[in-house]
Amino acid sequence: MTESSTSGRWQVARVVVIRTALVAGVIFALIQLVPYGWGHDNPPVVSDAPWPDATSEEIARTSCYSCHSNETEWPIYSYVAPMSWLVRYDVEQGREKFNFSDWEPDDAEDAIEMIQSGRMPLDRYLLIHRDARLTDSESATLIAALETMSNEGGDGDLGGNDDRGGDDDHGGDDD
């Protein structure tokens, strides 16, 4: 091979890389105009989960609350597409399935099952939030807390004569 043919190939490769980078840059800029993912709201907390202890609450806040509460912390990448689309989708789905800020004791069983099966927290969430990974001990603590909270949820089968002011009826009040 001659020096001029090698030089010509490098020039062609350089042009291809530059054009590819320009096209990628234009596409990246254009997808920022897609409005989905822009809005980041945190509705008010309706009924906060009644954590039995500070340890279980801290575990839940670290590993669960970003997607399963109305107290989401919106990191900088949640404002940049396409990541903003994924973050918003995960938060919307998480809040819909289970929301610690709109506590329903009956939902705890599903949360327990997801933790026991290892499906929560999501693997893609753990890629960026390594501190959210649950150890076996943390999983056990969180599951025990959820079980306690679901049993205190007012299903009335534990006697119902505690001193919490009558929150043990079947229908519940709209407090």
Domain map (residue ranges) of the chain: 1-31, 54-151
Distance CA 83, CA 106 (A): 32
- Residue 76 buriedness (CB in 10 A; 0-12 / 13-18 / 19+): exposed
Q: Which residue has the tokens 């509460």?
A: 69
CB 94 within 8 A of CB 106: no
- Mean pLDDT per block of 10 residues along the chain (175 residues) reads 74 93 89 76 93 97 96 91 91 95 92 95 94 97 96 49 37 39
What pLDDT is recorded for position 1? Answer: 58
What pLDDT is recorded for position 58? Answer: 98
What pLDDT is recorded for position 55? Answer: 97
Summary count for the chain: helices (H), strands (E): 6, 0
Verdict on whether the full-model pTM lies above 0.85: no
Distance CA 70, CA 120 (A): 18
What pLDDT is recorded for position 156? Answer: 38
